[in-house]
Amino acid sequence: MAPRSLTDARAARLGLAVAVVLVGAQALVATGWSLTHDDPTELALTTRCLEREKGLTIEETTDDPVAQSARGGTLRTIVEGNLVTLSVATSQREAERLRAAYGSGDPGPRLDVRGRYVALWLRDPSPTQRQTTYDCAY
Amino acid sequence: MRTDLTRHRYWVAVVAVLAAECALLLWNVWHYDWLRGYDAYANDQYASTVGDEHRLPSADESGVWHTPPLWFAVAGLLRRAAIDHGWGLPQRPGQLVAAAAGLAVCALVLLLARELWPERRLLHLVALVVAAASPALVRASAMYHPETLAVALAASGVLVAVHALRTRWTVLSSLGAGALLGLAGLTRAWALPVIAAVVVAVGIDALTRGRWIPVAVVSATALVVLGPWLVNEQRAHGSALAFNRPAPAGSVLTRRPVSFFLGPRSLRALEHPVTPLFRNELVPHLYADWWGDWALTWDSPPPPAPGQLLPSRVVAERARQAVVGLLPTVLALAGIVAVALVAVGRRSTATGLLPLTALAVGAAYILFTVVYPSTDGDTIKGTYLLMALPAASIGLAFVVDSLRPRTRACDLAIGAALLLFVAVQVPFLVL
């Protein structure tokens, strides 16, 4: 049987097949990875940092519906004797929503919104207390 | 029914695309903060040293001392003139050189497509539009940076070589190709794999024609132009290909983790294609930066500090770019393979030169990123692969033109798809 001549269309189809295989292989690797691995969330990274680098004890937030509505999660800890509830927003809009929800209670300096982190302190925080949470922001 | 663009409509479209690209690049130059471009401050230190003191900078004076000097000489002289004549921002002429070179790259892509397939006007237009709307080219054309000038010079050299390979080599074409490629190498080291590809193609051509003079003249001319720089680097820094940091000790095979090669977070490139995600994962990092702006040096605030949030518009715009880039990327890959197959099947070195340049640039790039790993991912940039843009855009156009049904409706559909491809990107490409 005589070999088929390589027309432009045939070359293009072969090229497409190679490209689809390459891109498909990349997608397969990526899908396999995403199904078997979870990259740590900002909350998980912050929790690990507060525990391991700051030596703090992390607790679950139980009685704060505003914090519990944060899409990035929430945690509670005590920094130098001051209780803080940290919430993680996933967008600026959500951070503003959390600020507004807390703001109705007029928390003053007890509320500290910095990027994706919304911190509500039990008492006005000292600079070193604030810095502890800033150090563990991701 | 076979259809073809009429000659008149073809030229109207070509002029319209080039005029629009010219307007876009000029607009961006005027609206882009030159300091946000790659290595901008170091580039300015280099240009001022060459322009004011007529010498090369030392390693202490500019972080890009390892980059060849041609663009810096041009930008430095224009910088001096701008200061002397009070033209305002002294870096702007250097940006204008980059923009002019970016426009030249588009024109050269068109000329290369015309040289390889003179009768296929739709192919020419598709290649031109794809090159002109490539985010990596548009971004590089606004920067105070030598990349686009190097690409334009290298593409010019490749064009001369393709023409000579299709017809016959003359002394003038040999000297011209060698000189242009040498100048490209004197602008950016990324031209070296292109030079190597051209020499290989001309060598293969010489094997069949039995004429070795063109190989010798092209190589010798490029070497005469580029040689002094390489000798200077060897003498001053111990290597003709010196870089601004030493390569780490140990085997090349262990310098990058497996994730660098596999790109396990590739899917996230379609949804959140900005720093610091998938940093140093070659495929997603490169893809996100080619179609968007992974490092956030374009129309965005600088990369946020830990804990800070990017405006959602910035991420959404880049995610849209990443999705838009999927089909063109597949078609470009397919095109490079297809054109290579055609070249091998028909024993055409002229046709094979473009995929050969893409292969050489890709291999050199991977070698570079492996030899010089960086923790912050600064050696992975879409603009570093612009040397492969002519091959990618012409390859894409070849696939589209080869597989299209020859009907007017299909031609209109391709035209509409091109318009959509550009229109969707306009908010990102226009500053």
Decide if B230 is inside a domain.
yes
Q: Is residue A2 part of a domain?
A: no
A vs B, Cβ pairs < 8 A, gives 109
For residue B118, tell me if it sits in a domain: yes
Yes or no, beta carbons of A114 and B307 under 8 Å apart: yes
Say if residues B39 and B383 touch (Cβ distance below 8 Å). Answer: no
What is the residue range of A16's domain?
7-37
* Tens digit of each residue's pLDDT (9 = 90 or more) over B286-345: 999 999 999 999 988 888 877 788 888 899 999 999 999 999 999 999 999 999 999 999
Does A1 map to a domain?
no
d(CA B347, nearest CA chain A) in Å: 12
- Together in a domain, A82 and A98: yes
Q: A19 and A72: one domain? A: no
- Asked, for residue B304, whether it belongs to a domain, the answer is no
Q: Do A21 and A71 fall within a single domain?
A: no
Asked if residue A94 is part of any domain, the answer here is: yes
Query: Does the N-terminal peptide bond of residue B276 adopt cis geometry, omega within 30 degrees of 0?
Result: yes
Asked whether residue A124 is assigned to any structural domain, the reply reads yes
Global confidence as pTM: 0.89
- Same domain assignment for residues A62 and A13: no
Same domain, A53 and A72: yes
Domains contained in chain B, number: 1
Contact assessment for residue B178 and residue B221, using Cβ atoms and an 8 Å cutoff: yes
How much is the pLDDT for A2?
A: 47
Domain co-membership, A51 together with A21: no
Whether the per-residue pLDDT at B2 is higher than 60: the answer is no
Is the domain of A60 the same as that of A122? yes
| Secondary structure (H, E, C), B354-372 | HHHHHHHHHHHHHHHHHHC
- Containing structural domain, residue B121: 7-242+323-429
Same domain, A73 and A91: yes
DSSP A84: E
**Which residues of chain A have a CB within 8 Å of the CB of B304?**
115
The H-assigned helical ranges of A37-126 are 42-52, 65-68, 92-103
* Tally of structural domains, chain A: 2
Q: How many CA atoms lie within 13 A of A88 on its CB side?
A: 19
- Read off the pLDDT of residues B94-146 as tens digits, 9 standing for 90 and up: 999 999 999 999 999 999 999 999 999 999 999 999 999 999 999 999 999 99
The tens digit of pLDDT for each residue in B329-357 reads 999 999 999 999 999 999 999 999 999 99
Q: Do A91 and B309 touch (CB under 8 A)?
A: yes
Residue B113 domain-assigned? yes
Compute the Cα dihedral for B314, B320, B324, B326 and give only its sign: positive
Same domain as A62, residue A46: yes
If asked whether residues A28 and A60 sit together in one domain, one would say no
Assigned domain for B278 exists? no
Confidence of residue B160 (pLDDT cuts 50, 70, 90): very high
- Residue B313 covered by a domain: no
One domain for residues A19 and A49: no
Most A CBs within 10 A among B270, B333, B339, B396, hence the mutation to make, goes to B333
Residue B221 inside a domain? The answer is yes
Q: Look at residue B25 and tell me if it is in a domain.
A: yes
Instruction: Tell me the two tokens of residue B227.
Output: 């040689």
Going by pLDDT thresholds of 50, 70 and 90, the confidence category of residue B382 is very high
